[in-house]
Amino acid sequence: MSASQREPFFVTCPTGLEPLLEAEMRELRLVRTVRGVRGVAFEGSIHDAWRANLHLRTAVRVLWRVARFAAPDPDALYAGVAALDWARFLSPERTFRVIVRSRDSALDHTLFVAQRTKDAVVDTLREPDGRRPSVDLDDPDLRIHVHLYRDRCTLSIDTSGASLHRRGWRRTQGPAPLSEVLAAAVLSFSGWNRRAPLLDPFCGSGTLLCEAAALAAGRAPGLSRERFAFEALPNFDAAAWSGLRSEAQGAEAPPRKLVLRGSDASPAAIEGAGANLEAAGLSGRVELEVADAGDFAPRRGWNAWVVTNPPYGERLGDERALAPVYRAFGAALRDRCAGYRLALLSGNPRLASELELPPAERVALRNGAIDCELLLADL
């Protein structure tokens, strides 16, 4: 593939974030976007795929769709995979792994499909001296995605590698961290204008604050990441990639006076948030303190956004112990935050009702395995 040749790509995202992802992709001038289930397709060059990996905040992976064919049986699958020129993607010294999803298809044994695919790849690449790429399930250079739907196979090369929520700055997790991708989505749904003060009184490991600080600075989310899978592809051009990264660095906005403030009842959480912000190079931009959310008393007339993710009572503490925390926090919001805007990610409707919020807009989201609602309200 030459650098300018147009190819089909599919950017994956968590359920419910497709409209946000498509808006981001359009802003990045990616063309022929088509919204799908858990992702958005586009057409572009391999450099566009690099840009997508570097800049998209709500993306999980950028898949390069390299083939589509009928695969009603094992022989058709083998022939379809073997028809590809695998030397474009892999050399004998590289490692790979095959990831399979199958729905409504005769080939529904995913382990078998992965093995047949692996055989076809290896057979086309075996050198006369017997050298061949090997399988590495934990940390492969290349991930090949096989998606079977109604006996049709889509083969994709994962240009990202580890999920894009791994920005490269996380040093500590805390017991219930928010994914960076979901945090970016919460900020986007909140309508935060990147200038008003933003406060997170249950900040935990500081994910929302890190994402907010990066957003306000115009910092590309992939800049702190160590590597992307496309760097191991034979067509990788290190000089062109370094040019794209420098361009992204150059586009960063100079720090401006912006209030970003996080607090948490746990001193360990505040320490962790500090370590994460420091690793992201954003520590000077965020104020952190140990405080109980029931004592939340920001300055009046600030016209701030409160964007937060309180404990759900499933993974942290139990529901009964948390009800008074929610009641006290709800009272603080009503009594001390008039004129503020609230975006609260709730994973427990009973606890959320203890807040006694004014009527809120609700967005259904998933946080890992937990069904959540993002409550958006004017206080």
Query: Which range touches ligand SAM (CB under 6 A), out of 53-61, 199-207, 222-230, 331-339?
Result: 199-207
DSSP 252: P
Ranges of H-type helices in the chain: 18-27, 46-55, 74-82, 110-125, 180-190, 207-217, 238-250, 267-279, 319-336, 349-353
- Nearer CB in complex with ligand SAM: 39/204: 204
Spatial neighbors of 137 by CB under 8 A, at least 6 apart, are: 97
Q: Is 204 in the site for ligand SAM (CB under 6 A)?
A: yes
Q: Is 202 in the site for ligand SAM (CB under 6 A)?
A: yes
- E strands, 127-189, are 134-135, 142-149, 152-158
CB neighbourhood size of 12 (10 A): 23
Q: Report, in Å, the least distance between residue 131 CB and ligand SAM.
A: 45
Contact window for ligand SAM (CB under 6 A) among 110-118, 153-161, 231-239, 289-297:
289-297
Choices 20-28, 233-241, 246-254, 291-299 (CB under 6 A): range interacting with ligand SAM: 291-299
Asked if 370 is part of the footprint of ligand SAM (rule: CB under 6 A), the reply reads no
Phi, psi dihedral angles at 245 (to 5 degrees): -65, -45
Site map 340..369 versus ligand SAM, x via CB under 6 A: ------------------------------
Paired tokens of 253:
């906005």
12-to-162, 165, 174 alpha-carbon distances in Å: 13, 12, 26
Yes or no: say if 363 and 334 are a contact pair by the CB < 8 Å rule. Answer: no
175 vs 358, beta carbon nearer ligand SAM = 175
260 binds ligand SAM (CB under 6 A): no
| Buried b or exposed e, range 213-252, using 16+ CB within 10 angstroms | bbbbbebbbbbbbeebbbebbeeeeeeebeebeeebeeee
Cβ closer to ligand SAM: 204 or 222? 204
Residues of span 313-332 touching ligand SAM by CB under 6 A: 316, 325
The residue nearest ligand SAM at its CB is 204
Alpha carbon distances (Å) from 37 to 10, 25, 137, 147, 195: 11, 16, 26, 13, 33
Taking the complex as a whole, how short is the minimal distance between the CB of residue 201 and ligand SAM, in angstroms? Answer: 6
**CA dihedral in degrees (90, 93, 99, 100; nearest 10)?**
70
Binding residues for ligand SAM, rule CB under 6 A, total: 22
Q: Terminal CA-to-CA distance of the chain, rounded, Å? A: 54
Amino acid at 229: A
Closer of 86 and 296 to ligand SAM (Cβ) = 296
Which member of 178, 198, 306, 344 binds ligand SAM (CB under 6 A)?
Answer: 178
Candidate list 21, 62, 269, 365; residue touching ligand SAM; CB under 6 A: 269
Q: Give 45's DSSP letter.
A: -
By CB under 6 A, is residue 119 in contact with ligand SAM? no
Q: Which residue's CB is nearer to ligand SAM, number 143 or number 167?
A: 167
Segment near ligand SAM (CB under 6 A); pick from 82-90, 95-103, 157-165, 200-208 = 200-208
Residue range at the interface with ligand SAM (CB under 6 A); choices 3-11, 144-152, 154-162, 201-209 = 201-209
